[in-house]
Amino acid sequence: MTTTDFTNGDPFAGSYDTTEGTVYNLGGGDWDSIAAAPEGENERIVVNMGPQHPSTHGVLRMILELEGETVVEARCGIGFLHTGIEKNMEFRTWVQGVTYVTRMDYLAPMFNETAYCLSVERLLGIEDQIPERANVIRVMMMELNRVSSHLVALATGGMELGALTAMIFGFRERELVLDIFEMVSGLRMNSAYIRPGGVAIDLPNGAEQKIRETVVLLRKRLKDTSDLLVDNAIWMGRTVGVGYLDLTGCMALGITGPVLRATGLPHDLRKSAPYCGYENYDFEIPTQTSCDAYGRFLNRIAEMHESLNIVDQCLDRLVPGPIMIADKKIAWPSQLSIGGDGQGNSPEHIQKIMSESMEALIHHFKLVTEGFSVPAGQAYVPIESPRGELGAHVVSTGGTRPYRVHFRDPSFNNLQAVAAMSEGSMIADVIAAVASIDPVMGGVDR
């Protein structure tokens, strides 16, 4: 079926000739046609910015055609962080899927988990059975996550425009939030904490107190960070009027999140299509009318303050109760506890399944190895992630594994705006525009 050709001198670069099926040729996109300048035109420079570049948010590749310092054409090249998460999930149980989706938009893991779990729960028809405490914890984790994600947007955006101290401050504050995640879920990122039916484990002792203190500290420190940049003449010079995209542009390109809200439209799924009980919280949707990078920056700061207000309300609403659905056919069977040798099943649970109830052992074994079945159908529940509308389109054929899980990741859609925002501007404005979109390539490429 295959022949290996050693005649070109490199034994490890043999060619493969397939004799059956469709032949797909993978070329390097349209680089050749872009790089080859038309006859008589030599003022144009083509810059291949990224995927290795300090300001492309990871591995975004931008192909810029420049005339002097002015960008004539901007194209995005994506796919450098493709990890096949969606495909992998088709070979794992519904619960294991959480561990995958949390790695997509790695700055907003709680949102990925929630979007996925809400869709799975809708398919299971158990949306009304999620315990109140689980919902409050979910909201609290998401809002803390929104703060940490916006802080990174601020920090990396600052760094890309040369504000080094803003970068360090942003990451320093984010660390406070990650400490909470570590305390609650055991992991700083990718915590797989939110599960179909509730959350993985209850808040540990002292967590509420720590969150309360952190919120106070964050409010104080957010002021420091925004003092550095808000009304800073150089910062405004770099961002005001830069990356302009008005409501029409946002609508045409499917842009959501802070970019959309910076046009003045108060569109936020927490208000317009509430989930996880958001209708019970008192908060505002901050908007700006400037449609530019500075407006998005101000909007993110305002959103962080709103998120902290929601976290405060969550803490007040936390009452003791179950954190997982009562249905034992869905709830994860283990009862985790922290022992001398680390986290694991609680001694009582092991005692019960190993020596008291054979049915409990079988139940545990079946759920852990095979997982629960989800009725056939499809569901899509969008939520408001820090970057915009995030939703998981989940399709089941009735088995213990998803037939297909597809994420509508806002970073991916928002990246479409790069050309509209930056063509005709200077090369430095491209950086500011992309930073104001705040794309996370993990979410774009998945």
Tokens for 242, please give them.
Answer: 């830069």
Residue 298 binds to other proteins (criterion: CB under 8 A): no
Let me know: does 411 contact 444? Beta carbons within 8 Å.
Answer: yes
Residue 243 binds to other proteins (criterion: CB under 8 A): no
Residue 379 binds to other proteins (criterion: CB under 8 A): yes
Integer CA distances (angstroms), 64 to 136, 354, 360, 421, in order: 46, 64, 61, 13
Q: Which window, 1-9, 75-83, 273-281, 318-326, contacts other proteins (CB under 8 A)?
A: 273-281
Distance linking the first and last C-alpha atoms of the chain: 33
Q: Which is nearer to other proteins, 295 or 332 (CB)?
A: 295
Residue 69 binds to other proteins (criterion: CB under 8 A): yes
Query: Which residue matches tokens 């090249």?
Result: 77
Residue 377 binds to other proteins (criterion: CB under 8 A): yes
User: Shortest distance, CB of residue 254 to other proteins, whole angstroms?
Assistant: 11
Residue 431 binds to other proteins (criterion: CB under 8 A): yes
Burial 293-310 (b: 16+ CB within 10 A, else e): bbbbbbbbbbbbbbbbbb
Pick from 51, 317, 380, 400 the residue near other proteins by CB under 8 A. 380
Tokens for 337, please give them.
Answer: 């506890």
Q: Which is nearer to other proteins, 105 or 384 (CB)?
A: 384
Pick from 141, 151, 161, 255 the residue near other proteins by CB under 8 A. 161
User: Shortest distance, CB of residue 7 to other proteins, whole angstroms?
Assistant: 26
Q: Which window, 23-31, 109-117, 248-256, 314-322, contacts other proteins (CB under 8 A)?
A: 248-256
Residue 424 binds to other proteins (criterion: CB under 8 A): no
User: Shortest distance, CB of residue 436 to other proteins, whole angstroms?
Assistant: 14
CB neighbour class for 88 (10 Å; exposed up to 12, middle 13-18, buried from 19): middle
DSSP for 313-339 reads HHHHH--S--SB-S-TTTS-S--EEEE
Instruction: State the Cα–Cα distance between residues 194 and 130, nearest whole angstrom.
Output: 12
Let me know: does 180 contact 315? Beta carbons within 8 Å.
Answer: no
Residue 129 binds to other proteins (criterion: CB under 8 A): no
**Chain residues in the site for other proteins (CB under 8 A):** 45-48, 53-55, 66, 69, 122-123, 158-166, 168-169, 172, 228-229, 232, 234-235, 237-238, 246-249, 251-252, 264-267, 269, 272-275, 376-382, 395, 397-398, 403, 426-429, 431
